[in-house]
């Protein structure tokens, strides 16, 4: 059996506790020989490089701990994976896993009744230039409409329209809850989004992020197994494999060899 290492790569070292919980569960399940959490604050290429160089494994599966790709996960993170001296596979973020729909449903139902007179606002970070956040958010919003008893599910965003500060005026039912579509707490979920939702006014509940929900662990395990199957079968190149192949450190940025 090859020595496989799973890397859970996330942002913000001060809020990495949920990542460590997922890593512990995945180790206990034997998802990989080693499961390691790596985090960065601002510059993945500089902050992660030494840890990646030190990895001793036959194969590495690197999974970005975000619901959808952002600038760092389509540029800097795949670029720095070149520092790994092993066969490396860059995994898709878990945001499009149907398991996350159920985790979001759990969060909402813990705050308001899952009923026709309840509204859910699904709050994501969003992006002014990339479609990934919107695609994932709309995917889960539609699944919640189809598979739950909530009477209304409205997506909204911090950085694009429909804006989070407007969503409370778009919710029409007696009970309402805002659920942040984030894998872990951030400044956005703890400060910016609550302020824009004007939670102090009342009438709108606000839940935790997905955090250490067991279904997130399950989604990670599924993503890794999919990546391993594709690697063993030598299937056509994925979007993430293309990112890893085309984003390489350059000598001009001080990170190239």
| In a shared domain, residues 40 and 112 | no
| In a shared domain, residues 119 and 201 | yes
Q: Look at residue 244 in the predicted model and tell me its pLDDT.
A: 62
How far apart CA 238 and CA 89 sit, in angstroms, is 10
| In a shared domain, residues 102 and 187 | yes
Q: Are 48 and 38 in contact (CB under 8 A)?
A: yes
| In a shared domain, residues 182 and 123 | yes
Q: Look at residue 257 in the predicted model and tell me its pLDDT.
A: 40
| In a shared domain, residues 129 and 187 | yes
Residues of the chain with pLDDT under 70: 235-237, 241-257
| In a shared domain, residues 21 and 114 | no
| In a shared domain, residues 185 and 117 | yes
Pairing of strands 34-40, 87-90: unpaired
| In a shared domain, residues 155 and 182 | yes
Note the pLDDT tens digit of each residue in 118-163. Answer: 999 999 999 878 899 999 999 999 999 999 999 999 999 999 999 9
Note the pLDDT tens digit of each residue in 214-236. Answer: 999 999 999 999 999 988 877 65
| In a shared domain, residues 124 and 55 | no
How far apart CA 26 and CA 130 sit, in angstroms, is 31
| In a shared domain, residues 12 and 87 | yes
Output the domain CATH number for residue 218: 3.40.50.1400
> At which of 186, 206, 226 does a domain end?
206
Q: Look at residue 230 in the predicted model and tell me its pLDDT.
A: 87
Q: What residue numbers bound the domain in which 87 lies?
A: 4-94+213-253
Percent above pLDDT 90 for the chain:
84
| In a shared domain, residues 172 and 90 | no
Secondary structure (DSSP) of 113-165? -SSTTEEEEEEE---SS-SHHHHHHHHHHHHHHHHS--SEEEEEESSSSSBGG
Query: How many domains, the chain?
Result: 2
Q: Look at residue 151 in the predicted model and tell me its pLDDT.
A: 98
């Amino acid at each position: 059996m090859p020595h496989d290492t799973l890397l859970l790569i996330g942002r913000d070292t001060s809020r990495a506790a949920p990542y460590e919980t997922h890593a512990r569960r995945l180790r206990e399940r034997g998802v990989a020989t080693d499961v390691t959490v790596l985090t960065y604050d601002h510059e993945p290429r500089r902050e992660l490089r030494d840890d990646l160089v030190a990895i001793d494994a036959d194969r590495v599966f690197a999974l970005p701990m975000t619901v959808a790709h952002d600038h760092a996960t389509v540029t800097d993170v795949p670029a720095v994976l070149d520092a790994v001296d092993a066969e490396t596979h860059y995994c898709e973020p878990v945001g499009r896993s149907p398991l996350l729909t159920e985790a979001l449903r759990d969060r909402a139902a813990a705050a308001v009744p899952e009923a026709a007179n309840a509204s859910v606002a699904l709050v994501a970070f969003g992006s002014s230039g990339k479609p990934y956040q919107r695609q994932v958010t709309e995917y889960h919003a539609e699944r919640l409409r189809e598979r739950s008893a909530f009477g209304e599910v409205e997506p909204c965003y911090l950085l694009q329209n429909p804006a989070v500060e407007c969503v409370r005026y778009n919710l029409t039912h007696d009970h309402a809850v805002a659920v942040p579509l984030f894998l872990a707490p951030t400044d956005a979920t703890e400060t910016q989004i609550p302020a824009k939702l004007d939670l102090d006014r009342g009438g709108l509940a606000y839940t935790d992020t997905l955090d250490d929900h067991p279904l997130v662990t399950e989604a990670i395990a599924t993503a890794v197994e999919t990546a391993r199957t594709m690697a063993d079968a030598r299937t056509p190149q994925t979007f993430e494999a293309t990112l890893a192949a085309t984003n390489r450190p350059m000598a001009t940025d001080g990170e190239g060899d």
